[in-house]
Amino acid sequence: MTAAPETVERESRLRALQRFLTDNPVVILVLVLVALFVVTEVVNRHQVGEPFVTWNQISTTLLVAAPLGMIAGGQTLVMLTGGVDLSVAYTATAAAFAISWQGTNGTLEGILAGLLVGVVIGLANGVGVGVFRVNPLVMTLGTSSVIFGLLSIYAGQAFEKRIPDVVTTLGRERFHTYLPANTLLWAAVAAVLVLGLSYTGYGRMLFAVGDNPLASRLAGVRVWQVLVAVYVLCGVLAALGGLLLVGFTNNPDLSLATSYLLPSVAAVVIGGTSILGGWGGYGGTILGVLILTVLGSLLTLLDAEEWERQVIYGSIIIVLTAIYARATRSD
């Protein structure tokens, strides 16, 4: 008799904990990230005899993560509206090429050209999805195909390239030995995204559109405008990611950002943003990006084969989405 209320209480506490964690996936993600750091530290000490968690290492992790952080930022916004942007990788690559081609004319021309590429591609995607209601998957696959074809054509014709010094500084230099320049830019963008999503009307509209586009329209939201703006933002963020990447590698090539496409989706999914829209945020994505980056280091350290890496990434996406789906459904 006395046991019953206790069990109930324990159960409700458990439920409260579950609810807390469901509402704040960031807490779990921070724990996962810390755990990953600890495991990597142990493996590194065991294998190399040196600590992994040093200021230099953390700084390098941030430097490696920043381009993905940018690209995944745009992906987060799009996925909040219930879409997906599969053109982010080629948008980033196209921006990188634009920067290096126009960079021969001047620094400002180069950077502006890169951002303009992001705006144009984003606008095309946004108009297709928002105005003509093309399925986001098909729309962005279509634009990917177009960008890829155009890049293949022009990469074989335009020979002169120059990456502006500002871009290389942003892409790979560090201030005070440990503060990567690209991380500063990332932090600024992150602040805008996190605050913008929580505290601006546009941010709230974005959630509303993702949650229920029909209801939003009935409530007077101009859904198409919201969508066009989201895809343009996503294009610009992808272009910024391309800028950081080309600054880092000092050379654009066709596969510059292809390896970032699926991780950008994975980071968002790990971060707890629902692919169905209306739920999530950029805070989780940042942690998703860091988790993927540290996991990459760990797998390299463990001498994991490429195939193991691929299988692990794929499984993470499916398993985590299943867990999130279950957690939110039980509410």
Partner 1 sequence: MTSATVTAHEYRGVPAWRRNLRLHGWTIGVWLVLLAMVPYWRSLSQQSFEFDIQALAIDALPLCFAAMAQAVVVISGGIDLSVGSLMGLMNVISAKHMIGMSFREAILFSLVILLLSALAGGFTGLVITFTRIPDIVVTLGMLFVWYGVGLWVMEIPGGGAPQQFYDLALGSIGSTQVPGAMVIVFAALVVLWLPIRWLRPGLSIYAVGSNRNAAYLSGIGVARTRVGAYMLGGVFAGLAGLALTATAGIGDPNSGSIYTLNSVAAVVLGGVSLLGGVGGLIGPIAAAYILTLSKTILLIRGTDPNYAAVYQGILIILVVVIGGLLSRKTHR
Partner 2 sequence: MSRNGRGRGAWRLGMLIAVGALAVAVAATAGQARKGQGGYTLGLSNTLVGNGWREGQLCAFKAQALASGKVDSLRIAHRATDTAGQISDIRAMISAGVDAIIINPSSPTALKPVAAQARARDIQVVFIDQYVSAPGVYNASNDQVAYGRLGAIWLFKKLGGKGNVVEMRGIAGVPADTDRHKGFQQALKAYPNIKVVKSVFTGWQFAPGAKQMLDILNSGTQVDGVWTSGIDYTVVDAFKTAGKPYVPVVGADNYGFVRQLKSRFPTFQGAAVTNPSSIGGVGAAQAIRLLDGQKAPKWIKLSPDVWTWPQDKASINKYARAGAPADASAQLQIPPWTTYTLKQYAACKGP
Sites of contact with partner 1 (CB under 8 A): 82, 84, 128, 132-135, 137-139, 141-150, 152-153, 156, 211-214, 262, 265, 269, 275-278, 305-318, 321-322, 325
- CA separation for the pair 80, 209 (Å, rounded): 8
Nearer CB in complex with partner 2: 194/299: 299
H/E/C letters for each residue in 153-202? HHHCCCCCCCCCHHHHHHHHCEECCCEEHHHHHHHHHHHHHHHHHHHCHH
Least distance between partner 2 and beta carbon 33 (Å): 16
Residue window 233-252: x/- pattern of binding to partner 2, with contact defined by CB under 8 A: ------------xx-xxxxx
Give first-to-last CA distance, the chain, whole Å: 29
Q: What is the four-CA torsion angle of 153, 155, 157, 163, rounded to 10 degrees?
A: 150
Instruction: Please identify which residue in 212, 253, 262, 328 interacts with partner 2, judged by CB under 8 A.
Output: 253
- CA separation for the pair 49, 52 (Å, rounded): 9
The listed partner (partner 2, partner 1, none) that binds 314, CB under 5 to 8 Å by sort, is: partner 1
The listed partner (partner 2, partner 1, none) that binds 296, CB under 5 to 8 Å by sort, is: partner 2
- CA separation for the pair 14, 17 (Å, rounded): 5
Does residue 63 belong to the site contacting partner 2 (CB under 8 A)?
A: yes
Task: Sort 180 into a burial class: Cβ within 10 Å, 0-12 / 13-18 / 19+.
Answer: buried
- CA separation for the pair 1, 215 (Å, rounded): 49
Nearer CB in complex with partner 2: 2/255: 255
Tell me the two tokens of residue 104.
């021969």
- 325: helix, strand or coil: helix
Does residue 198 belong to the site contacting partner 2 (CB under 8 A)?
A: no
Instruction: Please identify which residue in 135, 152, 310, 330 interacts with partner 2, judged by CB under 8 A.
Output: 152
Other Cβ atoms within 10 Å of 211 Cβ, number: 17
Least distance between partner 2 and beta carbon 52 (Å): 5
Least distance between partner 2 and beta carbon 151 (Å): 7
- CA separation for the pair 180, 64 (Å, rounded): 10
Nearer CB in complex with partner 1: 82/241: 82
Residues that bind partner 2 (CB under 8 A): 44, 48, 50, 52, 56-57, 59-61, 63-64, 148, 151-152, 155-157, 159-161, 172, 174, 177, 245-246, 248-257, 259, 296-298, 300-301, 303
